[in-house]
Amino acid sequence: MAGIWVFAETVDGTPAPVVLELLTKARSLGETTAIALGPSASKAVQTLGKYGAKKVYVHEDAAFRDILATPAVDLLARLIENHQPDLVIFGMTYDGRDVASRLSARLSTALIANATDVVKKDAGWAIITPVFGGTLLVTTVPRAKAPTLVLIRPKAVAAEPAASASAPQVETLTDPVESGKPVARVLRR
């Protein structure tokens, strides 16, 4: 089992606040790996380790910042095929939703959105999602092939540093990034 992966969105090398929340949750579920993509992503490694990532995949190509979702989906699909994680967690952000939904379609696997919690259930996962304005909680146990993809709401988990944090193992990726395809690009921020 390859454990729990967290899509670690970064901005100029700083993890988004939701990423620290996701790592806090992920480490309670199993061995945690973070995937940090984009320019200066390696600057986030120490913080990701502090919050529980045991391993961090880093790829610093500018395409991850300038092209919407496609390069991230391509890279994640290859990594998932090679390492077969059990669960991949994304923050319920614009980029997280974009990447997770495309990845779900590419892998033909389950994607549960708007979750507030994930727990182990038998040999799989139970994902808790509020409905009807939070008046009812629905528990979903996906039966699709692994990995299950989950989008977790920001602020659903309080971010807390790991009690026994250590420097994570870092794997710097240099896979070529396809940026010549006609795709949506970020023109201005």
Is 1's pLDDT higher than 80? no
Residues 6 or more apart in contact with residue 132 via CB below 8 angstroms: none
Stretch 52-72: mean pLDDT, rounded?
91
* 135 φ/ψ angles, rounded to the nearest 5 degrees: -80, -15
Q: Which residue has the higher pLDDT, 189 or 145?
A: 145
Q: What is the tens place of the pLDDT at every residue in 109-165?
A: 999 999 999 999 888 899 999 999 889 999 999 988 889 999 999 999 999 999 887
* 51 φ/ψ angles, rounded to the nearest 5 degrees: -100, 10
Four-point Cα dihedral 20, 26, 32, 35, nearest 10: -50
pTM: 0.92
Is 92's pLDDT higher than 70? yes
Least confident residue range of 3-12, 65-74, 112-121, 179-188: 179-188
The tokens for 127 are 């994902």
Least confident residue range of 45-54, 64-73, 88-97: 64-73
Query: What confidence tier does 182 reach under pLDDT thresholds 50, 70, 90?
Result: low
Beta carbons within 10 angstroms of residue 143's beta carbon: 8
Is 65's pLDDT higher than 60? yes
